[in-house]
Amino acid sequence: MLPTAELHIHIEGTLEPEMLVGLARRNGVALPTSDLDELRAKYSFADLQSFLDLYYDNLPVLRTSQDFYDLTSAYLDRAGRGGVRRAEIFFDPQVHLRNDVPLAAIFDGITSALGDSDISAELILCFVRDLGPDAAMETLRMALPFRDRFIGVGLDSAEVGFPPAPFKDVYELAAAEGLHRVAHAGEEGDPEYVRQALDVLGVERIDHGIRAMEDPELVARLRDEQVPLTVCPLSNVALRAIDRLSEHVLPKMLDEGLLACVNSDDPAYFGGYLDDNFAALRSELGMTEQQFATLARNSFDASFATAGQKAAWK
Ligand code: ADE
Ligand code: ZN
């Protein structure tokens, strides 16, 4: 299995139907159905929002630090079997706070699972962009007492209509705290979202970024500045950002000299983990081992690991 870093993975998006049903039982949370086939049948999406609706509906089953521990351990076990050596994991604290889960329970559960794993893993706190910049600022301030438990901030959830620029102040505070900064941009949003994330938020990586390929000037900039792009091929097909995998822009990104890498985003919902993404890229796009080696190298280069760690993995 090709050793890789996974830099775009939402821990909540690793909630497999079996664990969803198990946690609902354990915590006495009602689900519309506990039938696994019926649950899986819902995992079919028209766009990002239709996915987010189901993703948020499922999250009230996560209640205790043990739940977060179990979720994170299951992901790390599965990812490790697929070649992942380094994981930089997103989580959405605002959603869990809204479900009355204390921030300490979220951090305790996730970070103890990270500590128990052989994979080098860190946490990135994401702001839910459709809840707005004031809520993001309040969340970052609440999280600062846990500053040593996460390495960066990100911006996720509904993109179109929620551009990056209004989050300038919260990203400035994150920078002042020495946190890394990333943001989802150019998943459904046009190239202007990518430009704002770079110019206004000062992000070090773009999550997705596929629509940047529509703008040759932006492509040249991404190449010249070697801005990492965490691309999620199976996610893009599942959410219909791209019609079929055979039309994915990833090979073109590599041809253009962009620092793109492959990631699974929400593997429980989109048909697979990192190794499943690579397998699909091989069978449906005809990507080669040489391209995979470039993607794996890019993933370590794009990670926030230390130079020593990167040298050991590559
Ligand atoms: N939250 C979880 N997955 C996401 C995605 N692909 N885009 C935006 N927000 C998300
Ligand atoms: Zn994502």
**Residues 187-243: tens digit of each pLDDT:** 999 999 999 999 999 999 999 999 999 999 999 999 999 999 999 999 999 999 999
Neighbouring C-beta atoms of residue 38, cutoff 10 Å = 12
**Residues 75-118: tens digit of each pLDDT:** 999 999 999 999 999 999 999 999 999 999 999 999 999 999 99
* Residue 1 in this model has a pLDDT that exceeds 90: no
Active site residues: 187
Instruction: Label each residue of 89-131 as H, E or C.
Output: EEECHHHHHHCCCCHHHHHHHHHHHHHCCCCEEEEEEEEEHHH
| 276 annotated as a binding-site residue | no
* Residue 145 in this model has a pLDDT that exceeds 90: yes
How many whole angstroms from 13 Cα to the centroid of ligand 1?
8
If you search the block for the tokens 């979220």, which residue do you land on? 106
Measured distance CA(118)–CA(153) in Å, rounded: 24
Pick the atom of ligand 1 nearest to 157's CA.
9
Give yes or no for residue 16 CB within 6 A of ligand 1.
no
ipTM: 0.97
**Residues 239-290: tens digit of each pLDDT:** 999 999 999 999 999 999 999 999 999 999 999 999 999 999 999 999 999 9
Which is it for the CA torsion 265, 44, 209, 137, positive or negative? negative
Tokens representing 308 are 């020593």
Give every CB contact of residue 5 below 8 A, 6+ residues apart in sequence.
84, 85, 86, 87, 88, 261, 296, 299, 300, 302, 303, 305, 313
208 within 8 A of 230, measured Cβ to Cβ: yes
Q: Which stretches within 116-232 are classed as H helix?
A: 132-143, 168-176, 191-199, 216-224
| 243 annotated as a binding-site residue | no
Looking at the CA of 9, which ligand is closest? 2
pLDDT tier, 314 (very low <50, low <70, confident <90, very high otherwise)? confident
**Residues 33-72: tens digit of each pLDDT:** 999 999 999 999 999 999 999 999 999 999 999 999 999 9
Measured distance CA(289)–CA(78) in Å, rounded: 22
Domain spans of the chain, in order of start: 4-303
Predicted confidence at residue 72, as pLDDT, reads 99
pLDDT tier, 313 (very low <50, low <70, confident <90, very high otherwise)? confident
| 248 annotated as a binding-site residue | no
Q: Find out if CATH 3.20.20.140 is the number for domain 4-303.
A: yes
Ligand 1, pocket-test mutation among 156, 162, 235, 277, most atoms within 8 A of CB: 156
Give yes or no for residue 48 CB within 6 A of ligand 1.
yes
Measured distance CA(163)–CA(157) in Å, rounded: 11
Pick the atom of ligand 1 nearest to 187's CA.
7
| 265 annotated as a binding-site residue | yes
Ligand 1, pocket-test mutation among 265, 270, 277, most atoms within 8 A of CB: 265
Pick the atom of ligand 1 nearest to 12's CA.
2
Give yes or no for residue 10 CB within 6 A of ligand 1.
yes
- What is the chain's mean pLDDT, rounded? 97
Tell the residue nearest (CA) to atom 8 of ligand 1: 157
